[in-house]
Amino acid sequence: MVITIRDIFCAVRGALVATVAGCFLLVGGCDTGPAPSLYDPDAESAPAPVIDSIEPSGSALAGVDILTFTGQNFSANPSDNLVYFDDTRGEVLEASPTQLRVRPPNLPRPELQVRVAVLEAEDFSNSVSYRLDPAAERFSDIKGFEEPFAITSDAEGNIYVSLFSGGSSVGIKKIAPDGTRSDFVETTFKWDALAFGPDGLLYAARGVRAIFRLPEGGSQETIIISDSNADRLTALAFDAQGNLWVGGNAVSLFRLAPDGSVAAFPFQANVRDLAVFDGFLYAVGSQDGTSKVWRFPLNSDGTLGAAEEYFDVTAALGADALALAVATNGDVFVGTNADDPVIVIAPDRTAEVLYPDIMEPAAISFAWGAGTSLYMTQGVTSATTPDLIRIETRRQGAR
């Protein structure tokens, strides 16, 4: 049995008439007979809408991309067009008799049946098969009793995560691109930053004045970075020369050279994350109660140039900057504790939220995976639980 739009309308109309008649009986009977019908069964239906094409063709990001429907017999009034992806409606943004612009629901599925209904048309349009891909999705099935902290990746796209379970460390796990987990190294600590060095070893920071080198399955090696016990080191990034840049809640940024020597460059801030791109060291963190992005020239002699304020996160969002990643096109991704936790700063320093209403706060750590995937650790807030998220950025990561 095929149910038409007119069938639905008739059912609603019948229920409405019955309700109205019942009300008349309650207040004094039906001396005047039934109320006149608002529905004319002889009225001519508008022609059924027709979908000729949907752009982008074949697939789009769920809840993100704007789709253009080209066809016939649409209404010029956006609210008169109902666009269904299976049983879920999209948002019609603009309309004309031959074209609709639609934001699809956040409903990632490999195959959905898309149809259009138009007010005063008896029948739905033809059905078109379409795929909605996830803009952001949970990765590796983090359980409710598990909590990921720092993450990093290797050249093959494997993710390494400092993981707690039931409130205690279960070590650093290696997660393959298909989500399969394996043990990388046992450790009882929560790690705030992880980074692979050119020597193939994993370097880690955990809020003390030293950093640590962790061979797979082996014992950690301690490397003293700062002379001050007050320094809390929580951020790591390697440059093309093999120097490891180290930051944290300290009065300096530090460079650990391949020969093991350490140099300090004065910069007082609470640095939460670091990234290297195109001859610059980028940093996010807070200074005097304000969260910002800074960048520093990396000089050819291995020294660090003067700090340049790159973007004021607090002024733009009223949020704290927590994580940092840079794409090869120069876009800077900043993780925050805002409701929409990821922003993208273009090379011209304009910024926008990445995928509004798709992700939850807080974005506390980033790592580029294979291709255009950016992985995000979702930290605990009053409204959200810990998780590991894979984001499709459509940009190549600068490692």
What is the pLDDT confidence band of residue 218, given thresholds at 50, 70 and 90?
A: confident
Q: pLDDT digits over 234-271, tens only?
A: 999 999 999 999 999 999 999 999 999 999 999 999 99
Q: What's the pLDDT band for 399 if we cut at 50, 70, 90? A: confident
Euclidean distance between CA atoms 343 and 147, whole angstroms = 23
The answer to whether the beta carbons of residues 280 and 296 sit under 8 Å apart is: yes
- Give the other-Cβ count within 10 Å of 166's Cβ: 9
Cis peptide bond upstream of 362, omega within 30: yes
Mean predicted lDDT score pLDDT of the chain: 91
Would you say 292 and 343 are in contact if contact means Cβ atoms under 8 Å apart? Answer: no
3-state secondary structure of 368: strand
314 backbone dihedrals φ, ψ, rounded to 5°: -65, -45
State percent of the chain over pLDDT 70. 89
**pLDDT, average across residues 213-229:** 94
User: Which is higher by pLDDT, 134 or 382?
Assistant: 134
Peptide bond into 56 cis (omega under 30): yes
Tally Cβ neighbours within 10 Å of residue 286.
18
pLDDT in tens, 99-129: 999 999 999 999 999 999 999 999 999 999 9
Architecture of domain 136-392: 6 Propeller (2.120)
Report the SS3 class of residue 279: coil
Phi, psi of 68 (to 5 degrees): -110, 115
pLDDT attached to residue 40: 57
Report d(CA 129, CA 54) in Å as an integer: 10
Res. 224: pLDDT tops 50: yes
CATH number 2.60.40.10 is the correct assignment for the domain at 47-132: yes
Look up the pTM and report it: 0.88
Mean pLDDT, to the nearest integer, of 323-327? 98
Choose the weakest-confidence range: 37-41, 227-231, 250-254, 376-380: 37-41
For the chain, the domains span 47-132, 136-392
Q: What is the pLDDT of residue 23?
A: 36
Residue 219 has pLDDT above 90, yes or no: no
User: What confidence score (pLDDT) does residue 36 get?
Assistant: 56
Mean pLDDT of 52-63: 98
Q: What is the pLDDT of residues 332-341, one digit of tens each?
A: 999 999 999 9
Residue with the bigger pLDDT between 249 and 7: it is 249
pLDDT of 20 above 50:
no
323 pLDDT tier (thresholds 50, 70, 90): very high
Residue 158 DSSP label: -
Rounded to the nearest 5 degrees, what angle is found at the Cα of 12, between the Cα atoms of 10 and 13? 60
The pLDDT tens digits for 65-77 are 999 999 999 999 9
Structure confidence by residue, pLDDT tens digits, 34-51: 555 555 566 678 999 999
pLDDT at res. 383: 86
**What's the confidence (pLDDT) of residue 9?**
41
Rounded-to-integer distance, Cα 321 and Cα 272, Å: 8
